[in-house]
């Protein structure tokens, strides 16, 4: 029998160990179940007319891509069917699988209810995710919002389209609220962290109160902390 290769600090209590850094983390049994048995995954392309709209987004943090198809009951506004496909990591797969279940279970949520699902609700149903993986779990929400906006466009409801253009917060550096959101998703937890990443507010001191407010908003949204 061959001897196992020596690796850098493998933690036998963890599910994943980065062999370069030695960092490790554990996944809940629910996360593992959804990773190994993803619900509502669509591997091939759908037939024309099977779905009402599609959304596709990429993660600025890691470059991974998520595609999502939705079918909506026109009378009740409920999500009748939702399928997805991603080239993201295990956390993205598990979180999107759970999101797809939450949106379609018990006859399906209506669009407004589905848009209100918070990342913390998905985390709670999954039994938690490592904080560094939060940016993976929001890919589902972003793809869903884009699919629904496309549905509003295609179904003649332009008044319901949600604005998604970024608002410029730091005029000197052209930094938007989306940039601040991404910095938080990549791990920044306070104004100092965000400034270190983006240099935001350095040449535009007047923007600082708004930046601080946005950082608090996104930290609470994604990590449930104030």
DSSP-assigned states of every residue in 40-59: TB--SPPPTTS-SEEEEEE-
Among 35, 39, 57, 59, binds ligand FES (CB under 6 A): 59
**Cβ at position 193, least distance to ligand FES in Å:** 19
Burial of residue 27, with CB atoms counted within 10 A of its CB: 0-12 exposed, 13-18 middle, 19 or more buried: buried
Residue 56 interacts with ligand FES (CB under 6 A)?
no
Q: Residues 67, 144: contact at Cβ < 8 Å? A: no
* Of 53, 92, 136, 198, catalytic: 136
Q: Which residue has the tokens 């930094």?
A: 175
**Residue closest to 80 by CA, chosen among 107, 60, 100:** 107
**Cβ at position 113, least distance to ligand FES in Å:** 25
Site for ligand FES, residues 158 to 217, rule: CB under 6 A: none
Is 136 among the residues known to form the active site? yes
Instruction: Give the Å distances, CA to CA, from 49 to 44, 52, 179, 202.
Output: 15, 7, 36, 51
Among 68, 72, 82, 92, binds ligand FES (CB under 6 A): 92
* Of 41, 54, 62, 208, catalytic: 62
**Cβ at position 93, least distance to ligand FES in Å:** 9
Residue 89 interacts with ligand FES (CB under 6 A)?
yes
Whichever of 30 and 62 has its CB closer to ligand FES, that residue is 62
Residue 146 interacts with ligand FES (CB under 6 A)?
no
Among 40, 91, 97, 100, binds ligand FES (CB under 6 A): 91
Is 89 among the residues known to form the active site? no
Among 38, 88, 108, 201, binds ligand FES (CB under 6 A): 88
**Residue closest to 94 by CA, chosen among 55, 136, 64:** 136
Q: Residues 65, 93: contact at Cβ < 8 Å? A: no
* Token duo for residue 202: 């350095």
* Token duo for residue 17: 């160990």
Q: Which residues bind ligand FES (CB under 6 A)?
A: 59, 62, 64, 88-89, 91-92, 136, 139
């Amino acid at each position: 029998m061959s001897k196992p290769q020596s690796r850098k600090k493998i933690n036998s209590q963890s599910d994943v160990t980065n062999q370069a850094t030695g960092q490790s983390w554990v996944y809940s049994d629910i996360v593992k179940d959804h990773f190994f048995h993803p619900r509502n995954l669509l591997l091939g392309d759908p037939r024309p007319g099977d779905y009402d709209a599609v959304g596709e987004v990429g993660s600025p943090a890691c470059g991974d891509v998520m595609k999502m198809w939705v079918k909506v009951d026109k009378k009740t506004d409920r999500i009748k069917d939702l399928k997805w496909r991603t080239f993201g990591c295990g956390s993205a797969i598990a979180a999107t699988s759970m999101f797809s279940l939450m949106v379609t279970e018990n006859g399906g949520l209506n669009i407004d209810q589905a848009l209100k699902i918070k990342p913390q609700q998905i985390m709670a149903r999954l039994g938690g995710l490592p904080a560094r993986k939060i940016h993976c779990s929001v890919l589902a929400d972003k793809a869903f919002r884009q699919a629904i906006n496309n549905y509003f466009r295609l179904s003649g409801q332009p008044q319901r389209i949600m604005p998604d253009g970024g608002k410029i917060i730091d005029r000197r550096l052209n930094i938007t609220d989306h940039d601040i959101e991404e910095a938080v998703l990549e791990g920044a937890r306070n104004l100092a962290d965000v400034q270190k990443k983006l240099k935001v507010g350095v040449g535009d001191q007047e923007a600082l109160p708004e930046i601080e407010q946005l950082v608090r908003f996104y930290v609470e949204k994604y990590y449930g902390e104030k």
